């Protein structure tokens, strides 16, 4: 069965394609349109890119998994009276509105979206077969399922948290004895009054209060928090509580009241203290919630997903403070991961739990975008503004890094999720702390965390304070940890002010070029770590195509590009 997973949310729209349980492609809409966090409609560009990667067409799709997100109003069959008339007029004028399925389900008092969705028209309009199955999935279940599917656990607490989806901001599920039990966050919550309890939104309001954009710049606060003191924490915390069932509550009347409160606090504090305070709020409340759940329902493993768990400092606290054997954060933890979770939900509904569990596998590679390895060298060789300086990519790149150069690695398919993991990354030497400022200026970025380090799995626990239960998460750069004291002064460019780092652990089978460059750099310098930072300029998504990487090379954003076939620089060297 060829399954197309889609999420048409107002931010982070995405698509994926599965051939039964084999994930063939997964792409965020922003990587195609070049608009950060793009969404608000059917992600046509990402959808067609995934199908092209899979070598298939829309007519080949057997089933589509859809979220309760944004769709053109013509696909809602329950509209009547003035709303139906408005829809027809707007459609005739070419100004059709999109409506959110989640909200329309509440209006129609249904928990099954197929009761109000015009599936035949949707299929016909978009070039799918009339026989194609349409399946709607729950937002938080789609967050939770990949944390179980990509492990081999026999028991786990599956905990999701974000700014909101399907009328809840959290879900709590237990996996044991081959079954999933939902404690909180079922689809029935769609028809209940919304609770004002989102720590993710509180964090977003603090981000806005400091002049940045919610759903985009929260990572700035995570890094900035280490420079401040949580002086506002008590004021914030008195408005939140965790009950005996592990559920988070607040006493705010609505989210506007929460926003005004946080903005008011921020007026009289430094941005460092605001960041430290809201970080403390997030950490303590989520820790208290999960600890309460584990006290009531002891489990040996913890699966985390949802945008809140893009917060790598929180993830470290949970891994170190809770009595669990392993913590796994789904690498595409935000809404970019919903399409894959939705496809897994469809497979679970089709096959049942026993079959679904039997097909589980741990993640290794996330290079699920288009692979340009067969095209990139020819494109660069044909460009008069780009020169090949070596056909020995490994040793030449290691030498350039040792000289302090910034090299963009371009190999395999674009990464799935928010982190660059060695396919669309910039690599450099961690020995010079000054590279943080110089490279960020070239990329027009302003950050408060150092660059992330990449380390081979055989060296990881010698350099970093990683427990065995953190190793899987660290493969995908979703958790921070301490840096062993003996290494802190030798790799300052990847060590934060609090002595931590956010490592990526790699093995050769995952990305041979990336691994071999790291090994050659270690031989040349004695350092088992390289810088890995995502290749994107300020306010742009991570680059995707050879043309995008070529422009950055010509503009002097980087010194060189390395591919599987060679090393390239701008003709005439760097400006």
Q: DSSP letters of 13-48?
A: -EEEEEETTEEEEEEEHHHHH--TT--SS--HHHHH
Domains parsed from the chain with CATH numbers:
2-66+68-136 (3.30.420), 142-330 (3.30.420.40), 367-570 (3.90.870.20)
Q: Angle at which helices 373-381 and 546-554 pack, to 10 degrees?
A: 40
Q: pLDDT at residue 9 above 60?
A: yes
The span from the CA of 391 to the CA of 396, in Å, is 8
In this structure, the number of other CB atoms found within 10 A of the CB of residue 197 comes to 23
Q: pLDDT at residue 45 above 80?
A: yes
Q: Of 118, 145, 139, 243, which Cα lies nearest the Cα of 186? A: 139
- As a whole number, mean pLDDT of residues 403-417 equals 95
Backbone angles phi, psi at 276, to 5 degrees: -65, -35
| 575 — pLDDT class (breaks 50, 70, 90) | very low
- As a whole number, mean pLDDT of residues 228-253 equals 98
The span from the CA of 136 to the CA of 114, in Å, is 7
Query: How high is the mean pLDDT of the chain?
Result: 95
| 562 — pLDDT class (breaks 50, 70, 90) | very high
- The b/e string for 484-523 (b: 16+ C-beta within 10 A; e otherwise) is eeebeebbbbbbbeeebbbbbbbeeebbebbbbbbbbbbe
pLDDT at 94: 85
Backbone angles phi, psi at 511, to 5 degrees: -160, 90
Q: What is this structure's pTM? A: 0.96
Q: Of 333, 289, 232, 270, which Cα lies nearest the Cα of 28? A: 333
Contact partners, residue 460, CB within 8 Å, separation at least 6? 466, 471, 474, 503, 505
pLDDT tens digits, residue range 280-312? 999 999 999 999 999 999 999 999 999 999 999
The span from the CA of 459 to the CA of 480, in Å, is 16
pLDDT at 302: 98
- As a whole number, mean pLDDT of residues 239-248 equals 98
Q: pLDDT at residue 549 above 90?
A: no
- As a whole number, mean pLDDT of residues 158-169 equals 97
pLDDT at 90: 87
- State the burial class of residue 58 (Cβ atoms within 10 Å of its Cβ: 0-12, 13-18, 19+): middle
Q: Of 147, 142, 160, 263, which Cα lies nearest the Cα of 214? A: 263
When mean pLDDT is compared across 10-14, 65-69, 180-184, 441-445, the lowest value belongs to 441-445
pLDDT tens digits, residue range 192-206? 999 999 999 999 999
pLDDT at 539: 82
Q: pLDDT at residue 423 above 70?
A: yes
pLDDT tens digits, residue range 84-129? 888 888 888 888 899 999 999 999 999 999 999 999 999 999 999 9
The span from the CA of 484 to the CA of 501, in Å, is 10
- As a whole number, mean pLDDT of residues 476-484 equals 98
Q: pLDDT at residue 537 above 90?
A: no
Q: Of 511, 494, 416, which Cα lies nearest the Cα of 456? A: 511
pLDDT at 574: 54
- As a whole number, mean pLDDT of residues 552-559 equals 88
What percentage of the chain reaches a pLDDT higher than 90? Answer: 89
The span from the CA of 56 to the CA of 434, in Å, is 47
Q: pLDDT at residue 317 above 70?
A: yes
pLDDT at 436: 83
- Nearest-Å Rg of the Cα atoms of the chain is 24
Q: pLDDT at residue 137 above 60?
A: yes
- As a whole number, mean pLDDT of residues 30-59 equals 97
- More confident call, 394 vs 574: 394
Q: Angle at which helices 199-209 and 271-296 pack, to 10 degrees?
A: 170
| 555 — pLDDT class (breaks 50, 70, 90) | confident
């Amino acid at each position: 069965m060829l399954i197309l997973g889609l999420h048409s949310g107002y931010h982070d729209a995405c698509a994926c394609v599965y051939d039964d349980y084999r994930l063939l492609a997964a792409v965020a809409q922003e990587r195609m349109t070049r608009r950060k966090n793009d969404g608000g409609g059917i992600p046509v560009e990402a959808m067609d890119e995934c199908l092209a990667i899979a070598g298939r067409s829309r007519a080949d799709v057997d089933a589509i998994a859809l979220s309760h997100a944004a769709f053109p109003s013509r696909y809602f069959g329950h509209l009547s009276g003035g709303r139906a008339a408005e829809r027809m007029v707007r459609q005739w004028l070419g100004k059709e509105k999109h409506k959110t399925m989640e909200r329309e389900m509440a209006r129609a008092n249904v928990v099954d979206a197929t009761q109000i969705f015009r599936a035949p028209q949707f299929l016909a309009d978009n070039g799918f077969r009339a026989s194609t199955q349409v399946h709607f999935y729950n937002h938080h279940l789609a967050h939770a399922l990949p944390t179980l599917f990509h492990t081999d656990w026999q028991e786990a607490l599956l905990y999701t948290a974000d700014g909101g989806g399907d009328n809840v901001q959290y879900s709590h599920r237990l996996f044991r004895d081959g079954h999933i039990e939902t404690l909180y966050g079922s689809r029935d919550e769609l028809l209940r009054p919304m609770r004002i309890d989102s720590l993710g939104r509180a964090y977003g309001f603090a981000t806005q209060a400091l002049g940045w954009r919610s759903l985009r710049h929260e990572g700035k606060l995570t890094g900035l928090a280490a420079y401040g003191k949580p002086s506002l924490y008590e004021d914030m915390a008195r408005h939140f509580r965790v009950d005996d069932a592990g559920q988070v509550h607040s006493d705010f009347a609505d989210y506007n009241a929460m926003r005004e409160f946080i903005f008011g606090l921020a007026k009289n504090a430094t941005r460092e203290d605001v960041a430290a305070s809201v970080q403390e709020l997030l950490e303590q409340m989520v820790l208290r919630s999960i600890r309460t759940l584990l006290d009531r329902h002891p489990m040996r493993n913890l699966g985390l997903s949802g945008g809140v768990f893009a917060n790598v400092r929180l993830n470290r606290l949970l891994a170190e403070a809770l009595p669990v054997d392993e913590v796994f954060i789904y690498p595409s933890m935000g809404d970019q991961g919903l399409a894959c979770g939705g496809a897994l939900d469809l497979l679970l509904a089709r096959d049942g739990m026993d079959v679904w569990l039997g097909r589980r596998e741990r993640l290794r590679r996330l290079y699920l975008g288009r692979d340009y390895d067969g095209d990139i060298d020819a494109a660069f060789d044909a460009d008069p503004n780009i020169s090949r300086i070596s056909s020995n990519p490994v040793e030449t790149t290691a030498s350039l890094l040792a000289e302090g150069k910034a090299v963009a690695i371009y190999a395999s398919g674009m990464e799935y999720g928010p982190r660059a993991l060695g396919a669309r990354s910039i690599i450099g030497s961690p020995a010079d702390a000054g590279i943080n400022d110089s490279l960020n200026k070239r990329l027009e970025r302003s950050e408060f965390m150092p660059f992330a380090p990449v380390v081979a799995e055989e060296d990881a626990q010698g350099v970093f304070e990683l427990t065995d239960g953190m190793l899987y998460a660290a493969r995908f750069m979703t958790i921070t940890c301490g840096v062993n004291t003996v290494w802190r002064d030798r790799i300052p460019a990847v060590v934060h002010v609090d002595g931590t780092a956010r490592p990526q652990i790699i093995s050769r089978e995952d990305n041979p070029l990336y691994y071999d460059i790291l090994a050659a750099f270690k031989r040349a310098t004695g350092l088992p770590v390289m810088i890995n930072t995502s290749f994107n300029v300020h306010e742009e998504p991570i680059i995707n195509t050879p043309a995008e990487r070529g422009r950055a090379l010509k503009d002097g954003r980087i010194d060189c590009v390395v591919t599987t076939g060679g090393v390239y620089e701008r003709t005439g060297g760097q400006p």
